[in-house]
Amino acid sequence: MITDEMRSFFTNEVKERFLRYVQVYTTSDETNPETPSTERQFDLSRMLEAELKELGLDNVYCDDHAYVYATLPAKNGTKGPVFGILAHVDTSPDQPGENVKPVVHKNFDGSPITFADDPELTLSYNDCAELEEFVGHDIITASGLTLLGADDKAGVAEIMAAMATLTKYTDLPHGEIRVIFTPDEEIGRGTVEIDEDVLPQFCYTVDGGYPGELEGECFDAWRADLKFKGVGVHPGYAKDKMINAAAVAGRFVAALPEWQTPERTEKREGFFHLVNLEGDFENASAILIIRDFEVELNETRMELMKSLKDHFEKQYPGLEIELTFKHQYQNMRDIVMQYPEVMNLAEKAMEAAGVEVVRKSIRGGTDGSRLTQLGHPTPNMFAGGMLFHSRKEWIAVSSMAKSVETILNLAKNWSELS
């Protein structure tokens, strides 16, 4: 049974750990093919390695790729099956992640939150309607110049606080638990060098948003790379001769349906998303990501891009377009659905923590999508952060505490399985 004393302990524990972890610079870098993509991720991984050893977990080590592994042995007499729990140490390159200064807004009164390092930046209900539900709670943001890093240092702090609680309060039931912290999740490479031998059959990532979110489905994901080779001629003598590669690239992207972009879609709607567009009159390139929950709908999008390639090459004789696709990750739904008990145990854990469960689909991906394809069904549980990848990113201390309590309940639920 989780007591008020325990709740007080792990609430303070998760808050203090989170405030410490977000100040460690761990932004990943998609341009570097190595794992980890940035050496700075080792700074947090080695910190976690040391802290897990201090807590007394077994087989604790940080490997050469910044993965951290640890095992909490089963409590004496507990014979439930082992499960794994994961979070990632890197933060998104979408916003600055160096010199994060976390700010605790105590007893949030509902008025717009201001940011000390950017007086023009505010956070209000207009930005995130869920904020209204946390009036009277302690809210944590960054100072205005960086993201906060709740994605996924909240998950890291919650797992660590749960381990600290289980080692301090030895009457809490649990079987064997494997803890894994991964690098480079934000750039889609969080499991590239993971040691499968350490992974149990079933795992969970703690990498979701609003309290109660439980996700067993994610996007089917593709990347499209376009290269445009035009014809360069002096602009004063260019009539019927020049093919401006940059201009054609812009027209190509504009020809994709606007109603299928992130700005116009929600829930189970897929999209094209322009990640990068650059070039000059002779050469240009574009990178897009293609997302949907159904493989067939993504295939339709790719066929549209192929037909546009043919159309533009016919419209501009001499233009060359190179179009390639790369599959990034699969929807984990069909595999996770084969093991309903994995989702059910997490749902019961949330309900026991007093959290209303919201089963939903991830409009993105997690390490769990790749792990599921490797044979380790891995649903995603809430970490509590909101407005991820934004300078307005925020999290309530109470949300992190609910995540810790959910992990403790999950440990109990697994320990009771025969």
Architecture of the structural domain at 4-218+331-415: 3-Layer(aba) Sandwich (3.40)
pLDDT band, residue 297 (cuts 50/70/90): very high
pTM to 2 decimals? 0.89
Catalytic residue list contains 185: yes
Token reading at 166: 């289980």
51, 185, 186, 220: which one is catalytic?
A: 185
**Domain segments of the chain as ranges:** 4-218+331-415, 220-329
What does the angle CA 367 – CA 188 – CA 32 come to, to the nearest 5 degrees?
135
Percent of the chain with pLDDT over 90: 91
Alpha-carbon distance 77 to 376, whole Å?
26
157: pLDDT strictly greater than 80 = yes
pLDDT tens for each residue of 238-261: 898 999 999 999 999 999 999 999
91: pLDDT strictly greater than 80 = yes
Alpha-carbon distance 313 to 243, whole Å?
11
pLDDT number for residue 192:
94
51, 90, 220, 292: which one is catalytic?
A: 90
CATH of 220-329, one of 2.60.120.460, 3.30.70.360, 1.10.10.10, 3.30.470.20: 3.30.70.360
Catalytic residue list contains 120: no
pLDDT number for residue 347:
97
